[in-house]
Amino acid sequence: MRAVIRGTGMHVPANVVDNHRLSRVMETSDDWILRRTGISTRHFADLDEATSDVALPAAERAVEDAGLQKEDIDYIVFATMTPDFYFPGSAPVFQHKFGLQGIGALDIRLQCSGFVYGMQLADAMIRSGQCRNILLIGAEVHGGFMPWKSWDVLLGQSDREVPEEERSWNTRFRDRTVLFGDGAGAFVVSAADGEERGLEAVSVHADGAHTEKMWVPSGGSARRPYFDPEQFEKGETIPIVVGREVFKVAVTVMPQAVEEILTANGYTLDDLDLLIMHQANLRINEAVQKTLGLPDEKVYNNIQKYGNTTAATLPMAFHEARTERSLTPGQLVCFVALGSGLSWGAALYRY
């Protein structure tokens, strides 16, 4: 028995924010963002939309794509770094909104690598016989972390001129705020007989020595109080990313993870048909692709349209690749991601 991706779905909020819109609220430009990140646009949720809300359409589409009913789902795994609340996690909140009561609902908090960890969990639960159909979700609404003072302009609700003081505040955090977008992706992972298709392997890793390379210092038990005005002013309540250091780690461990999982399962890079990487920065993905020596037709990126949607990038990219690349049965797909912790992992899937 193997765990197969029976259905996929994705959803992004209606608000499309391009780089030119960002330049209206802070000191930046389309060229500045493109050169550093490869991102042209991203989607932002409305201010009354939570992560669980953005996940709902993605989940509905995945269940429909799988040819199932909601009631066929027997477990929910929800990967996110932007839960609706400090607690409870978003999984039970989503479960209630989705109309499923009583089944297990688990959050995974490993940020950008959360979805690949979720794939490992889903695979184990399917193979052990505990579940038949798992709804695996990656969803994010980063707005709660982003210290914008110009939401009305960003969401297209106002054409006002942004005052200099407001622009200055927004500009302080532009190295981070230009990266993120909102969205959700979902897989229905189901049990299937035979060895012709399905998850072949998942390998995950972590190294806490790199904690402070990507983190939010405030909001946990290591800081007392959890939040105070001084922390907010210092930018310690939003993601801090040491970009150069993260880049160096990412372009080293991500290709290693791909080659290691291929070798461990008797494959070479020549056997790989498609690589789906975490969509954090197009420049990182270009470097990983170059290291691995893969042609463009074996790599799929969509960060240009959506920005970094953290735990949602892998399912969103795979969902679009299924259609745009016309995947055929028997093709070998590798997923790879690196996130805070630092944590990383790779998965091999026979389509």
Mean pLDDT of 132-156: 93
Statement: residue 58 has pLDDT above 80: yes
Q: List the catalytic residues.
A: 112, 278, 308
Shared domain for 203 and 113, answered yes or no, is no
Out of 192, 213, 246, a domain closes at 192
C-alpha span between 264 and 197 (Å, rounded):
18
C-alpha span between 201 and 235 (Å, rounded):
39
C-alpha span between 281 and 304 (Å, rounded):
9
Residue 213 pLDDT level (bands cut at 50, 70, 90): confident
C-alpha span between 183 and 153 (Å, rounded):
20
Domain of 119 in residue numbering reads as 2-192
Shared domain for 176 and 207, answered yes or no, is no
Shared domain for 187 and 267, answered yes or no, is no
Mean pLDDT of 152-163: 95
Residue 326 tokens, joined: 């016309």
Residues in the chain: 351
pTM of the model: 0.96
C-alpha span between 176 and 133 (Å, rounded):
37
Count: domains in the chain: 2
DSSP type of residue 34: H
Residue 241: predicted pLDDT:
83
Residue 147: predicted pLDDT:
78
Q: What CATH number does residue 270 fall under?
A: 3.40.47.10
Statement: residue 124 has pLDDT above 90: yes
Residue 236: predicted pLDDT:
77
The vertex-259 CA angle with 287 and 78, nearest 5°, equals 85
Q: Residue 187's beta-bridge partner residues? A: 8, 136
Statement: residue 89 has pLDDT above 90: yes
Average pLDDT, the chain: 95
Shared domain for 219 and 160, answered yes or no, is no
Statement: residue 145 has pLDDT above 90: no
C-alpha span between 349 and 351 (Å, rounded):
6
Residue 229: predicted pLDDT:
79
Query: 31 and 88 in contact (C-beta within 8 Å)?
Result: no
Shared domain for 181 and 321, answered yes or no, is no
Shared domain for 242 and 117, answered yes or no, is no
Out of 152, 176, 192, a domain closes at 192
Shared domain for 171 and 239, answered yes or no, is no
Mean pLDDT of 122-150: 94
Shared domain for 118 and 265, answered yes or no, is no
Residue 325: predicted pLDDT:
87
Residue 6, phi-psi category: left (phi > 0), alpha (psi -120 to 50), beta (remainder): alpha
Spatial CB neighbours of 56, under 8 Å, sequence gap ≥ 6: 11, 94, 97, 98
Least confident window among 131-140, 144-153, 189-198, 257-266: 144-153
Shared domain for 212 and 229, answered yes or no, is yes
As separate numbers, helices (DSSP H) first and strands (DSSP E) second, the chain gives 13, 14
Residue 8: predicted pLDDT:
99
Q: Residue 79's beta-bridge partner residues? A: 108, 138
Statement: residue 146 has pLDDT above 90: no
The CA-based diameter of the chain, rounded to the nearest angstrom, is 63
Shared domain for 13 and 127, answered yes or no, is yes
Mean pLDDT of 185-189: 99
Shared domain for 146 and 236, answered yes or no, is no
Higher-pLDDT residue of 176, 62: 62
**Extended beta strands in 66-152, E state:** 75-79, 104-108, 133-140
Shared domain for 206 and 186, answered yes or no, is no
Residue 343: predicted pLDDT:
96
Out of 192, 213, 245, a domain closes at 192
Residue 55 pLDDT level (bands cut at 50, 70, 90): very high
Give, for 232, the enclosing helix (H) or strand (E). helix 229-233
C-alpha span between 66 and 319 (Å, rounded):
13
Q: Exposed, middle or buried: residue 326 (CB in 10 Å: 0-12, 13-18, 19+)? A: exposed
What are the backbone angles phi and psi of residue 209, rounded to the nearest 5°? Answer: -65, -15
Mean pLDDT of 11-22: 98
**Tens digit of each residue's pLDDT (9 = 90 or more) over 254-279:** 999 999 999 999 999 999 999 999 99
